[in-house]
Amino acid sequence: MTGQFDLLTETPTGIATMAENPSFEGVEMQPDDWLLLALIDGKATIKEVFDTSPLSKEATQNTLWKLQRGGIVRLPEPPKDAAETVANKAVRLPPIPKTWPQPYAEFTFTPRADVDIDPAFQKAVAYFHEHLDQVNYYQLLDLNLNASPALIKASYFNLSKFFHPDRFFRRNIGPFAPVIGEIFKWLNDAYRTLSNTQRRQAYDIALSSATPCPIPQKKSASLHSPSPNTSPPTPAPAPPEPPPQQPPSTPKVRPLAEVLGQAKLAERKGDFRIAADAFLEALQQRKSPDLMNRAAECLIKLRQELDLAERLSKEALEIEPNNARFWVAWAYLVEQRGALAEAEQAYAKAVALDPNHSGARSRLAAVQAKARANNET
Amino acid sequence: MGEPSIVIGIDLGTTNSCVAILDATGPKVVPNKGGYKTTPSIVAITESGKRLVGQMAKRQAITNAKNTVFGAKRLIGRSWGSPQVIHCMETCPYPIVEGPHNDVRIVIREKAYSLPEISSMILTEMKLVAEDYSGQSISQAVITVPAYFNDGQRQATKDAGRIAGLDVLRIINEPTAAALAYGYGRDINSSVAVYDLGGGTFDISVLNIASGVFDVISTAGDTFLGGEDFDARIIEWLAYQFAEVHAIDLRSNEMALQRLKDAAEKAKCDLSSASKVEINLPFIWTTESGEALHLQTELTREVLEELVIDLVERTVRICEVTLADAGLAPNQVGDVVLVGGMTRMPMVQRMVQEYFGLQPSKNVHPDEAVAIGAAIQGAALVEGNDDVLLLDVTPLDLGIAVHGGGFNTIIAKNTTIPARESRVFTTSRDRQTSIKVVVLQGESAKASENETLGEFTFTGIRPAPAGEVDLEIIFEISADGIVQVSAIDLETGKEQSIAVTASSSLTDDEIKQMMAEHQDYLQDISRDDEMEEARIQLGRTLRDVEKLMPQVEVAMGGSSLGHNAIDKARVAIEDARSCIDGPNLNAIKSATDTLRRTLAVFKGIAERIQ
Look at residue B226 in the predicted model and tell me its pLDDT.
92
How far from chain centre, in Å, is Cα B125?
11
Q: Please tell me the distance in Å from A184's CA to the nearest CA on chain B.
A: 8
If pLDDT is split at 50, 70 and 90, which confidence band does B123 have?
A: very high
User: Which of A22-31, A77-86, B491-500, B514-523 comes out lowest in average pLDDT?
Assistant: A77-86
CB-CB neighbors (< 8 A) of B472 in chain A: 257
**A 89-108: CB under 8 A from B:** 92
Look at residue B127 in the predicted model and tell me its pLDDT.
95
- Indicate if B174 belongs to the active site: yes
Look at residue B16 in the predicted model and tell me its pLDDT.
94
User: Which of A5-19, A149-163, A319-333, B364-378 comes out lowest in average pLDDT?
Assistant: A5-19
Q: Which of A158, A169, A260 sits opposite B384 (nearest CB)?
A: A169
Put simply, the answer to whether B208 touches A153 (Cβ < 8 Å) is: yes
User: Which of A19-23, A127-131, A276-280, A349-353 comes out lowest in average pLDDT?
Assistant: A19-23
Look at residue B610 in the predicted model and tell me its pLDDT.
66
Measured at the alpha carbon of residue B291, what is the angle toward residues B290 and B296, in degrees to the nearest 5? 145
Q: Which of residues B310 and A83 earns the better pLDDT score?
A: B310
CB-CB neighbors (< 8 A) of A164 in chain B: 389, 391, 479
DSSP 8-state secondary structure symbol assigned to residue B446: B
If pLDDT is split at 50, 70 and 90, which confidence band does A282 have?
A: confident
B105 Rama sector, left if φ>0, alpha if ψ -120 to 50, beta otherwise: beta
CB within 8 Å of A269: residues ≥ 6 apart: none
Mean of pLDDT over chain A: 78
If pLDDT is split at 50, 70 and 90, which confidence band does A216 have?
A: low
How far from chain centre, in Å, is Cα B539?
39
Q: Which of residues B176 and B551 earns the better pLDDT score?
A: B176
Please, are residues A227 and A220 in contact by the beta-carbon 8 Å criterion? Answer: yes
If pLDDT is split at 50, 70 and 90, which confidence band does A341 have?
A: confident
CB-CB neighbors (< 8 A) of B381 in chain A: 166, 169-170
Does residue B344 have a pLDDT over 80?
yes
Mean pLDDT of A32-54: 76
Mean pLDDT of B21-34: 91
Mean of pLDDT over chain B: 89
Q: What are phi and psi for residue A215, nearest 5 degrees?
A: -100, 115
Q: Please tell me the distance in Å from B170's CA to the nearest CA on chain A.
A: 11
- Residues B220-242 have pLDDT tens digits of 998 889 999 999 999 999 999 99
If pLDDT is split at 50, 70 and 90, which confidence band does A78 have?
A: low
- Indicate if B470 belongs to the active site: no
Q: Which of residues B77 and A223 earns the better pLDDT score?
A: B77
Put simply, the answer to whether A257 touches B488 (Cβ < 8 Å) is: yes
**A 135-174: CB under 8 A from B:** 153-154, 157-158, 160-162, 164-171
Nearest-by-CA chain B residue for A162: B386
**Radius of gyration from C-alpha coordinates of chain B:** 30
Does residue A84 have a pLDDT over 70?
no
Put simply, the answer to whether B380 touches A184 (Cβ < 8 Å) is: no
B18, β-bridge pairs:
B11
Put simply, the answer to whether B386 touches A161 (Cβ < 8 Å) is: yes
Look at residue A13 in the predicted model and tell me its pLDDT.
64
Look at residue A262 in the predicted model and tell me its pLDDT.
76
User: Which of A146-155, B44-53, B372-381 comes out lowest in average pLDDT?
Assistant: B44-53
Nearest to B326 by CA among B488, B449, B216, B174: B216
Mean pLDDT of A63-82: 72
Q: Where does residue B2 rank: exposed (0-12), middle (13-18), buried (19+ CB within 10 A)?
A: exposed
Tell me the residue type at B21: I
| A261 contacts chain B (CB < 8 A) | yes
- Residues B443-455 have pLDDT tens digits of 888 888 888 888 8
Does residue B376 have a pLDDT over 60?
yes
Give how far Cα B564 sits from Cα of A60, B568, B598, Å. 96, 6, 12
- Indicate if B261 belongs to the active site: no
Look at residue A1 in the predicted model and tell me its pLDDT.
40
Look at residue A233 in the predicted model and tell me its pLDDT.
34
Please, are residues A223 and A235 in contact by the beta-carbon 8 Å criterion? Answer: no
If pLDDT is split at 50, 70 and 90, which confidence band does B398 have?
A: very high
Catalytic residue among B103, B117, B159, B196: B196
CB-CB neighbors (< 8 A) of B390 in chain A: 166
Q: Which of A2, A153, A258 sits opposite B386 (nearest CB)?
A: A2
d(CA B315, CA B201): 10
Judge if the upstream peptide bond of residue B463 is cis by omega within 30 degrees of 0. Answer: no
Does residue A87 have a pLDDT over 60?
no
d(CA B390, CA B524): 40
- Residues B454-473 have pLDDT tens digits of 888 888 888 888 888 888 89
Please, are residues B76 and B223 in contact by the beta-carbon 8 Å criterion? Answer: no
Please, are residues A296 and A314 in contact by the beta-carbon 8 Å criterion? Answer: no
Does residue A2 have a pLDDT over 50?
no
Give the number of other CB atoms < 10 A from CB of residue A228.
8
User: Which of A73-87, B166-180, B462-476, B543-557 comes out lowest in average pLDDT?
Assistant: A73-87
Give B595's Cβ-side CA count (13 Å radius): 30
Q: Which of A116, A154, A166 sits opposite B210 (nearest CB)?
A: A154
- Residues A294-337 have pLDDT tens digits of 889 888 888 888 888 888 998 888 888 888 888 888 888 888 88
If pLDDT is split at 50, 70 and 90, which confidence band does A228 have?
A: very low
Size of interface A-B (CB pairs under 8 A): 83
Does residue B379 have a pLDDT over 70?
yes
Put simply, the answer to whether A192 touches B187 (Cβ < 8 Å) is: no
- Residues A236-270 have pLDDT tens digits of 333 333 332 222 222 346 667 677 777 877 787 77
How far from chain centre, in Å, is Cα A36?
34
d(CA B274, CA B268): 10
Sign of CA dihedral B368, B374, B380, B382: negative
Does residue A83 have a pLDDT over 50?
no
Tell me the residue type at B142: V
